Amino acid sequence: MRERISPARSVSGSITLPGDKSISHRYAILGAIAEGTTRLRNYSTGADCASTLGCLRALGIDIEVRADEVVIHGRGLDGLREPAATLDAGNSGSTIRMLSGILAGQPFPTRIGGDESLSRRPMDRIMKPLAEMGARIEARNGRYPPLEIRGAKLRPIDYALPVASAQVKSCVLLAGLYAEGRTTVREPVATRDHTEIALREFGGSVETAGRAISIEGRPRLSARELAVPGDLSSAAFFLVAALLVPGSRLLIQGVGLNPTRSALLDFLASMGARIRILNVAQSAGELAGDVLVEHSPVKGGVIEKALVSSLIDEIPVLAVLGAASDEGLVVRDAAELRVKETDRIATVAENLRRLGVQVEVTPDGMRVPGRQRFRAADLDSFGDHRIAMAFAVAALAAEGECVIESAEAACVSFPEFFQKLRQVVE
Ligand code: S3P
């Protein structure tokens, strides 16, 4: 699908966003292995979170998707059943990596794979700790999906993560549910902590000491009724759109503001963005509130070291903002971007160049000089949801109409994106 985007006069009004993708996956997985009926409001409408539900159904879990809630009939820690076919994680790295942690502890074998993009993403990062725990896992060429997982009675481990990854951390913690005793994961830098928070909500015992997170195995998890906050990573596209287009004033309501995610707002504020946070409240351990953003000239900045994992999903759209900022954007220490849904250093740079924007690519990042103009261009999502949305936002500030090829990729996390964008763009 091609989307045509015309230059915008303003981005204004008020919107709500679908539920956070990361939190939705975790609530669904924990709901499936908890005892009783879990009800989730504002579950992510993205294809990735539907992939998680599909896999859970194939594992014998009864799930009802209603207009206003997802109802998961949990079967307890030992209630999953051997699936009849290969589990399909679609495009979703979170699904394959987190579910593998659960599958490693099952008394039956499973095979799990996904689409072409997922089949190129490294899984050795989860295979290693799960093998240490006692599972046997085979992968294509030793590291790519599909994975053949032979579950086992798992041993608890104390594991120092070699890469900063919430997905790998979560995989080991979820496997730890099936290990007798205490499993510990040590992070090199803090990553999103939705798994820890959700585990506590469902009745698990999780302790955090600095960057070491420990979980007790074989807990009894109980069903919960939960509302998923709006996705801050989806909000990022609207925040940047409003910052870029003069005259904009946009209210984004009910957005997740978990401190391991909200570095985005601090980073934008540090660049001079006019952003206000209103009506903050906590529910089930997760903060949420409204975010008001107004068009502002922004300075530019540097994303490096620990900030990289806090902003990992937002870097594509921040690169767009960087090109229009006063001093530009520098990204370093971000080689992880190369193993996302696409090589996001390459796909961001390619689209920036099509817009006539200069960018210097490095092995672990990029340098985007500021004060650049965007000319009308044919842009491409390259099948990556965040690239589709980041460059739809760039198109709003371009000198003429732009086209986004394969714009349907946005559906992976945010099927309503283009419709919501039209709602607030004049
Ligand atoms: C996610 C963690 C991040 C992020 C992804 C979702 C999660 O991946 O890029 O979109 O839900 O845990 P990594 O943990 O692999 O960096």
Tokens of 108: 């039956």
Task: Of 228, 226, 306, give the one whose Cα is nearest residue 266.
Answer: 306
> What is the Å distance from ligand 1's center to 248 Cα?
30
Which of 22, 24, 195, 234 gets mutated to test ligand 1 (max ligand atoms within 8 A of its CB)? 22
What string of H, E and C letters represents the secondary structure of the chain? Answer: CCEEECCCCCEEEEEECCECHHHHHHHHHHHHHCEEEEEEECCCCCHHHHHHHHHHHHCCCEEEECCCCEEEEEECCCCCCCCCCCEECCCCHHHHHHHHHHHCCCCCEEEEECCCCHHHCCCHHHHHHHHHHCCEEEEECCCEEEEEEECCCECCCEEECCCCCHHHHHHHHHHHCCECCEEEEECCCCCCCHHHHHHHHCCCCEEEECCEEEEECCCCCECCEEECCECHHHHHHHHHHHHHCCCCEEEEEEEECCCCCCHHHHHHHHCCCEEEEEEEEEECCEEEEEEEEECCCCCCEEECCHHHHHCCCCHHHHHHHHHHCCCCEEECCCHHHHHCCCCHHHHHHHHHHHCCCCCEEECCEEEECCCCCCCCCEEECCCCHHHHHHHHHHHHCCCCCEEEECHHHHHHCCCCHHHHHHHHEC
- The pLDDT value recorded for residue 102 is 98
21 phi, psi to nearest 5 deg: -65, -45
**What's CA 393's distance to the chain center, in Å?**
19
CB distance 167 to ligand 1 below 6 Å: yes
CB distance 115 to ligand 1 below 6 Å: no
Residue minimizing CA distance to atom 16 of ligand 1: 165
Tokens of 380: 């491409």
User: C-alpha distances in angstroms, 101 versus 94, 112, 172, 294, 392?
Assistant: 11, 12, 6, 42, 36
**What's CA 91's distance to the chain center, in Å?**
12
Tell me the catalytic residues.
313
Dihedral sign (CA 299, 304, 308, 313) = positive
Which of 23, 51, 94, 339 gets mutated to test ligand 1 (max ligand atoms within 8 A of its CB)? 94
CB distance 313 to ligand 1 below 6 Å: yes
> What is the Å distance from ligand 1's center to 377 Cα?
30
> What is the Å distance from ligand 1's center to 161 Cα?
14
Per-residue pLDDT tens digits of the chain, which is 426 residues long: 999 999 999 999 999 999 999 999 999 999 999 999 999 999 999 999 999 999 999 999 999 999 999 999 999 999 999 999 999 999 999 999 999 999 999 999 999 999 999 999 999 999 999 999 999 999 999 999 999 999 999 999 999 999 999 999 999 999 999 999 999 999 999 999 999 999 999 999 999 999 999 999 999 999 999 999 999 999 999 999 999 999 999 999 999 999 999 999 999 999 999 999 999 999 999 999 999 999 999 999 999 999 999 999 999 999 999 999 999 999 999 999 999 999 999 999 999 999 999 999 999 999 999 999 999 999 999 999 999 999 999 999 999 999 999 999 999 999 999 999 999 999
Quote the CA–CA distance of 188 and 328 in Å, as a whole number.
28
> What is the Å distance from ligand 1's center to 205 Cα?
23
Quote the CA–CA distance of 117 and 386 in Å, as a whole number.
14
pLDDT in tens, 385-399: 999 999 999 999 999
> What is the Å distance from ligand 1's center to 394 Cα?
24
CB distance 91 to ligand 1 below 6 Å: no
- The pLDDT value recorded for residue 412 is 98
Residue minimizing CA distance to atom 4 of ligand 1: 313
Task: Of 253, 274, 378, 391, give the one whose Cα is nearest residue 321.
Answer: 391
CB distance 166 to ligand 1 below 6 Å: yes
92 phi, psi to nearest 5 deg: -100, 105
Quote the CA–CA distance of 373 and 244 in Å, as a whole number.
11
- The pLDDT value recorded for residue 363 is 98
CB distance 258 to ligand 1 below 6 Å: no
CB distance 192 to ligand 1 below 6 Å: yes
Question: Ligand 1: which atom is nearest the Cα of residue 195?
Answer: 12
> What is the Å distance from ligand 1's center to 194 Cα?
11
pLDDT in tens, 307-366: 999 999 999 999 999 999 999 999 999 999 999 999 999 999 999 999 999 999 999 999
> What is the Å distance from ligand 1's center to 332 Cα?
18
Q: Which amino acid is at 289?
A: G
CB distance 22 to ligand 1 below 6 Å: yes
| Residues in Cβ contact with 266 at an 8 Å cutoff, skipping those fewer than 6 apart | none
Question: Ligand 1: which atom is nearest the Cα of residue 25?
Answer: 11
Quote the CA–CA distance of 292 and 158 in Å, as a whole number.
42
CB distance 12 to ligand 1 below 6 Å: no
pLDDT in tens, 139-171: 999 999 999 999 999 999 999 999 999 999 999
Tokens of 276: 């206000």
Quote the CA–CA distance of 152 and 158 in Å, as a whole number.
18
CB distance 94 to ligand 1 below 6 Å: yes
Q: Which amino acid is at 330?
A: V
pTM for this predicted structure? 0.99
